Amino acid sequence: MSEPEDLELEALQRQLDDAFETTRPRPGFEDELWTRMQARRPAGTRLRDAWLGLVQGIREVPAVPLAAVAGLLVVVLGAGVLVYSGVGRGGGAASIAQNRQAGAQPAALSSPGAFGQLPSPRFAAAPTGASAPGPVQSGTPSADYAGQVALTWTGKLDLTISTAPVFRYHEPSTNTADQFATALGAVLVSRPAGYLGSYQTTDFSVRVRGTVQSPAREPTYTVLPITSSASIDAAGGPVDVALVFLAERSLAPSWQYTSNVVVSGDVSQVLLDRQFGVTGYGYAYLVDGNGRRYGIEVDLNGMRPISATGPLTLSIDSAQYPIISADQAVRSALASTQVSAGAPGVPTATLTSAELVYSLVAAGDHSFYEPSILFSGTFTVNGTTYVKRVLVPAIDPTYRSS
């Protein structure tokens, strides 16, 4: 091979190195997760090493023209993109962690207001639970207060943004569920009423269901071990055990989350509470109709996983929409009750904090994650302190259909 061609080939090889460099997992991820799993090296790394070895071999064969090498490199780059895009399984754990670290959302941005008039969320009257020591967590058990509660606001809500993204997904089909299960190595057993499919491997069973209209919940999977699974050795505790269990099945979250553990006897609930990235604001939690955070739940008996439930990986797109001001949100929150502060025999909850959150609005063949404002505060009755939550739709009313 001539010297000019050799230099050009070296340049192409550097481009290949750069391409793979941008798709590597974040530093330290393998130490945190894959080393504990004692798994094989990531597929992308093996692919990179193999192709670079092939390139070196081609360089040693003078008869191969440079054009053929360049064509081969194009194919390799395309293969690398497919590997790291997670075709068929929503991405491997390494690429998932990279996306989560960057706060990436699986979304393509559409033009402002591209979804037209949005359905309004219909929040049921949230139960008012007795508070537990420390921060209020998504899975904290509580006793509910059934009586009426008046509301006052003493907090400060700073909304420095005037628009927020709305996320939309289309309802999955049975074919989507079958592909998801096949990627887990499971085969179709039946299609029970209310589910897209029930599947099974020799080690665990999987059920997939579509969107639940009321109370609204996105398409989800549930994994249940058939045989008693072995405990997972993870020095970090229950959260690391849950992440290893999910990553082994390519179910680790592709979105930003925070973790929380609720212990009841020998059973630990590991909760990975989902967050959406909002430019100019930060991260906003996904909450249910009661204002409680949720995402993926992995139940452990000791260090042995006994079940996992989470949202099905779906293609999501987004569009920006105007939102209400902080003053409008406060007025809406206080107007959510017909009881005035100071009414005889009625406790008054003092709302002291508010945050931007997301809630699911089911809408037939496609559904939305829409921004809301979650207010919270406390009140005391007969020596018991309760937490009061109030959800207010954040989308400007002129952009809501009802």
Residues 306 and 216 in one domain: yes
Most confident of 37-51, 72-86, 201-215, 338-352: 201-215
Residues in CB range of 222: below 8 A, 6 or more apart: 206, 207, 208, 307, 308, 309
Task: Report the pLDDT averaged over residues 248-264.
Answer: 93
Identify whether residues 141 and 60 lie together within a single domain.
no
Report yes or no on 53 lying in a domain: yes
Q: Do 331 and 313 lie in a common domain?
A: no
Task: State which of 256, 283, 317 marks the end of a domain.
Answer: 317
What lies within 8 Å, CB to CB, of 315 at 6+ separation is: 106, 169, 170
Q: Reply yes or no on whether the pLDDT at 300 is more than 80.
A: yes
Greater model confidence, 91 or 338: 338
> Which residue range(s) make up the domain with 22?
3-85
- Domain presence at residue 72: yes
Whether 228 and 270 share a structural domain: yes
Residue 97 lies in a domain: no
Task: Give the per-residue pLDDT at 302.
Answer: 85
Q: Both 125 and 72 in a single domain?
A: no
What pTM did the predictor assign?
Answer: 0.71
Helix (H), strand (E) at residue 35: helix 35-37
Question: For the chain, what percent of residues have pLDDT higher than 90?
Answer: 50
- Which residue is listed with tokens 């406390």? 378
Is 193 in the same domain as 311? yes
Predicted local distance difference test score (pLDDT) of residue 115: 93
143 and 78 fall within a common domain: no
Rounded to a whole number, what is the distance in angstroms from the first to the last CA of the chain? Answer: 71
Do 230 and 247 sit in the same domain of this protein? Answer: yes
Query: How would DSSP label each residue in 115-136?
Result: T-SBPPP------EEEP-SSS-
Local confidence band at 282 (pLDDT 50, 70, 90 cut-offs)? very high
Q: Which comes out higher in pLDDT, residue 305 or 135?
A: 305
Assign 227 a pLDDT band (cuts: 50, 70, 90): low
Report the distance separating Cα 368 and Cα 379, nearest Å: 33
Range of lowest pLDDT (64-78, 101-115, 320-334, 379-393): 64-78
Q: Is residue 309 part of a domain?
A: yes
Is residue 387 within 8 A of residue 343, CB to CB? The reply is no
Residues 244 and 344 in one domain: no
Task: Point out the domain boundary residue: 262, 294, 317.
Answer: 317
Mean pLDDT of 142-162: 85
The CA distances from residue 273 to 94, 218, 359, in Å, are: 19, 14, 13
Pick the range with the lowest mean pLDDT from 147-161, 176-190, 218-232.
218-232
Q: Domain boundary residue among 317, 334, 353?
A: 317
C-alpha dihedral (378, 379, 383, 385), degrees to nearest 10 = -20
CA separation for the pair 367, 234 (Å, rounded): 37
Q: Is the residue at 90 inside a domain?
A: no
pLDDT(369) > 50: yes
Q: What is the pLDDT of residue 111?
A: 77
**Same-domain pairing of 249 and 333:** no
Q: Is residue 101 part of a domain?
A: no
Mean pLDDT value across residues 390-396: 95
pLDDT digits (tens, 9 = 90+) for 27-83: 444 455 544 443 433 444 444 444 444 444 444 444 444 444 344 444 433 443 333
- For 89-146, the pLDDT digits (tens) are 333 444 344 344 334 455 566 778 899 999 988 775 544 544 443 444 444 434 578 7
Token pair for 47: 């692919």
Overall domain count for the chain: 3
The verdict on 201 and 79 lying in the same domain is no
pLDDT of residue 122: 77
CA-CA distance, 292 to 359, in Å (whole number)?
10
Inform me whether the pLDDT recorded for 259 exceeds 70. Answer: yes
Residue identified by tokens 């001001």 is 325
User: What's residue 113's pLDDT?
Assistant: 86
> Do 339 and 383 have their domain in common?
yes
102: CB partners within 8 A, 6+ apart = none
Q: Tell whether 71 is covered by a domain.
A: yes
The answer as to whether 102 is a domain residue is: no
